[in-house]
Amino acid sequence: MRKLIVGSRRSQLALTQSQQFIDRLKEVDPTLDIEIKEIVTKGDQIVDRQLSKVGGKGLFVKEIQNELFSGDIDLAIHSLKDVPSELPDGLTLGCIPDRENPYDAFISKNHIPLEELPDGSIIGTSSLRRGAQILAKYPNLEIKWIRGNIDTRLKKLETEDYDAIILAAAGLKRMGWSDDIVTTYLDEALLVPAIGQGALGIECRADDEELLALLAKVHNEDVAACVTAERTFLKEMNGSCQVPIGGYATRKNDSEIQFTGLIMSPDGKQRFEYTFSGQNPVEVGSEVSRVLKSQGADKIIQALNEKEV
């Protein structure tokens, strides 16, 4: 096998999860020679505005994809929730490895439970999806925008006027944070996760047969089927980070996948949610999309997307 160059964002989390995946590849083939190339993306450069205000789709992947096309890197290791539902021609997701905890982690001062926060308490999140779902169930709380890496957000919880923050559990776990820091993990009954949350997407050139054969050895077919349902829903709904959209699929048995899709208005007052089970992940994701469109969910998406144009 030739020397492989891996493209990764420069963030500590991206580099850590890239190294963890490389270690997994080396378990399969200890002779592999792999180097990480750090790439700064547009999403990394914009730290003073909400991502939903600056375009959303592809903010963390476009520059990396350009390096795949140019041949400067051989594969890219993405957080799958950052990857648009449609890839450019010539690129493919060569592998979906094991999924980390897909839920959101609620972290509050003095470990006060979400349901016990006093009226007017401030929760920090940069996600419209999280904010809308919290406001829908706890309209007495306030959502305040927050950006930065895990350490930065935890520091802001200590030093600024936040009473709690919400982070992806997967990032905390991959960075080695103890469960003790988390007040509670919010499962899909309370907070439907982001599409692909907790999963990685390993992107490469579609004609790189040698690399695809290697990646197949660390591919998790069950996880791939679940995220296919989720990403089909994202594509069919034309979702983006301008839209409070969530979706989570699980394999219920050897043959069936159960998927819940969610569309909300940013203020949490409109909610469209539907759960469907089936054998084909593309059909499952498409059916949930069809039902939510019939209920009028696409009107929220259309209005929000037009607002950002």
Structure tokens at 97: 């490895």
User: 149 pLDDT exceeds 60?
Assistant: yes
Give exposure, 30-43, as e/b (b: 16+ Cβ within 10 Å). Answer: eeeebebeebebeb
Q: What is the pLDDT of residue 248?
A: 98
Q: What is the pLDDT of residue 147?
A: 84
Average pLDDT over residues 205-210: 97
Q: What is the pLDDT of residue 33?
A: 97
Structure tokens at 122: 């401030």
Active site residue 119: no
pTM summary value: 0.91
Give me the catalytic one of 74, 82, 163, 298.
82
pLDDT band at 27 (very low <50, low <70, confident <90, very high): very high
Domains of the chain, each with CATH number or no CATH: 1-97+199-219 (3.40.190.10), 104-186 (3.40.190.10), 220-308 (3.30.160.40)
Residue type, 253: N
Distance of CA 182 to the CA centre of its chain: 19
Average pLDDT over residues 138-150: 93
H helix intervals, 29-117: 42-45, 62-70
Point out the least confidently predicted range of 27-36, 173-182, 231-240, 255-264.
Answer: 231-240
pLDDT band at 253 (very low <50, low <70, confident <90, very high): confident
Structure tokens at 63: 């520059």
* 30 CB-near residues (< 8 Å, 6+ apart): none
Task: Encode pLDDT of 29-86 as tens digits.
Answer: 999 999 999 998 765 555 545 555 545 556 678 889 999 999 999 999 999 998 989 9
Q: What whole-number distance in Å separates Cα of residue 307 and Cα of residue 96?
A: 34
CB 20: neighbour CB atoms within 10 A? 14
Task: Encode pLDDT of 93-104 as tens digits.
Answer: 999 999 999 999
Give exposure, 131-158, as e/b (b: 16+ Cβ within 10 Å). Answer: bbbbbbebeebbbbebbeebeebbebbe
